[in-house]
């Protein structure tokens, strides 16, 4: 069996690592681990809306439980 040249193995490894970094870097940027995303401790406007909806659901749930 003929030996595979080293440069082919290196190219395959670099290609695989580049592919994996393409999937790993955007989530890091989204959470602010790099030069992107929101700052830590700063709430997004959508988070405030979700909290209001959860509070309203909690009120509805607790008022229906007290009636039983």
Model pLDDT, residue 10: 93
Reported as a pLDDT band with limits 50, 70 and 90, residue 56 is confident
Give residue-wise pLDDT tens across range 18-48: 999 888 888 777 777 766 555 555 656 677 8
Model pLDDT, residue 66: 56
Model pLDDT, residue 51: 85
Please say whether the beta carbons of 29 and 37 come within 8 A. Answer: yes
Q: Give the Cα separation of 65 and 68 in Å (integer).
A: 6
- Identify the residue whose tokens are 């870097």: 25
Q: Give the Cα separation of 34 and 48 in Å (integer).
A: 25
């Amino acid at each position: 069996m003929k030996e595979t040249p080293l440069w082919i193995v290196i190219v395959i490894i670099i290609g695989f690592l580049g592919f994996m970094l393409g999937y790993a870097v955007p989530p890091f940027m989204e959470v602010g681990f790099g030069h992107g995303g929101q700052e830590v401790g700063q709430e997004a406007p959508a988070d405030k809306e979700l909290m209001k909806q959860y509070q309203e659901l909690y009120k509805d749930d607790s008022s229906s439980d007290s009636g039983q």
